[in-house]
Structure 1
Amino acid sequence: MVKEMTYYDVLVIKLNATQEELKKAYRKPALKHHPDKNPNEGEKFKQIFQAYEVLSDAKKKESYDKGGEQAIKESRSGGGFGSPMDIFDMFFGGETSALSHNVICNNCESQGGKLHQMGLGMVQQIQSLFMECQGHGEWISPKDRCKTAVEKKILEVHIDKSMKDEQEIKFHGEGDQEPGLEPGDIIIILGQKDHTVFTQQGKDFFMCADIQLVEALCGFQRLITALDNGTIIITSHTGQMIKHGSIKCVLSEGMPIYLRPYKKNCLIIKFEVNFPENGSLSPDELSLLEKKNPT
């Protein structure tokens, strides 16, 4: 009898795998079976995504451990499966950074070149600075000097969705190497750039929307381009008067939840009503107001 493959088998991990081990197990097969690289591997890619989504969510994992895939299908405890590409972008939407650091040279064993011992046996002790070695007791000819003790390396920094300003990404053991010492770490500190429209307030996005007085009284429809280039439609119907400074909360259009980018927090919109500069509505605006609010 053929044993049914579980999500743990798909990612080749143990039942008690940590989140870090889970992420590591997802990266390689997801990249290998991505449809852009292997067009015939779409189902395999989807299976890898579903395995990660379930096992990375504590509630879904608990349901799966108790009742398998059928329990997930029946409960849909997290609202079903998200987009495989959102997960993929979370892992592989990174940046590369070039840096130079000191490494232990295999050719000279970190001595800087071939060593030549200075001769001894002088009859008269004379205190003087030997120009070749500058008093260090060793001399390295320019032709023997090692040129490979500094290495340039490319680090790939993965910026997961919903990472925070000043959050640290650590590369263990990638720092400068010194003889007899363990190499240190390289720590990347993220800096969040300001956006012209959106700001972050806690876990939510915030923005201000300017509307005209006639729009506040008669209703309107506004299209907003989200950070992922999607379109958010904001609608105010006739009779729903918008006051200056009023707030509207749009669900699932805010900051993605860390390690669960297919789920988002809220977008908070503050409306700022622009009153006519001359203190009166134009004939067209009055006509629209009368049409929307007949006496």
Structure 2
Amino acid sequence: MFFGGMPGGGFPGMPQKREPADTTKLYETLGIEKSSTAAQIKKAYRKKALRMHPDKGGDPEEFKKLQAAYDVLSDEDKRKTYDKYGLEGLEEGGGPGGGMGDIFDLFGGGRRRNGKRKVEPLVFTVKASLEHLYCGKTVKLAYKRDALVGEPRKCATCGGTGITVQNVQIAPGMVTRAQAQCSQCNGGYRAQMKKERCEVEVRIDKGAADKSKIKLKDKGSEAAGAEQGDVHFVIQQKPHSLYKRHGADLLIRKDIGLVEALTGFKFVVPTLDGRKLSVQAKPGQIIRPEVRSGVPYVMCVDGEGMPKYGNPFDKGRLFVLFHIAFPTDGSLSSQAVAYLKKALPAPLDHPVVGADAEALKKLAEKNESVRELLGHEAEEAFLTRVEGGMDDFGRGAGADGGDATNEDDDDGRRRRGPQVQQCAQQ
């Protein structure tokens, strides 16, 4: 006795039922739920576009996917078609109407319009120096792919369907028919294969981003009964000895002396295209160690960063991160100290030993702590260098930590201080 036929399809020679369409990939690309409103779709796109834009260091191919997903989901009719038919529905127009083959190429998967699947792309890494990414370069590359030998033949086992049907007993006296992928062919066709060496020229455009892809259409592997695949070359940016890159901006670190920070500087930077760039401070400009606590002092030169991808005439900025090298251990002569006191701004509003009474009086009018110190003779204390820096902070206690609450009980046992528990915030 037979029940039902083949799950998910008819018998050989009859139209086969398609697999359920993937209707979530575009939503996942934008990072939203299928129930999202039009406003939520727009907000999600803007947020990810700012972060993934090629000018910000994003992958151009991933940015194209983001744009394509938004183009579909922001259009009410396209969104309905996608929710019902998936990517194939967009390519075929959801029935009547035009197609959208470009978005199908971007996201891949499923079968092509002519019913053939496309072979998975070959992916290779291309290492590129920052100079190559700045100036652009054409490189010759070689790779191996699977190639057909002769014409493919229709498989006699499955009749060219790629599927075989088997009788499966599910209980005594009960048999059903199940379908499985044919083990003798590839998609209904059989063919001899060989490894083939290919050589291509690949153009690395100016401003290309790290991890961006260069795609060569229909240059990949072949397979019987399938469309030829593509080749993807993924750019891997090499580290540079001088420059660090972020999007279209470049960064260098420059060590300068204290005298340069106060009186000005001029130095030459070798550019990525072989020029020599003279960088200098404006007259009287002072370089500080930090803008504020924890924020380093940087300056930039407009138009001396990386060319922007797609518009190489527009360039980013060159940032210079300064590190001020203070004088090494030693001492200054009394004459040098006098010159510095005369040239540099007045001290901050705290008492200065040896200051005249009029100056102290003015300080006292502004600062209460100064008023408390006036009239009392100050003890002299000299700072010494701490070899361990901040690592020595808190190590001035005794061997047991100097805990005043750790005392001996009358019975000689060690008594701990009160235990402090952390409360959860409401």
**TM-score (structure 2 length as normaliser):** 0.35
- TM superposition score normalised by structure 1: 0.49
Mark the structure with the bigger radius of gyration.
2
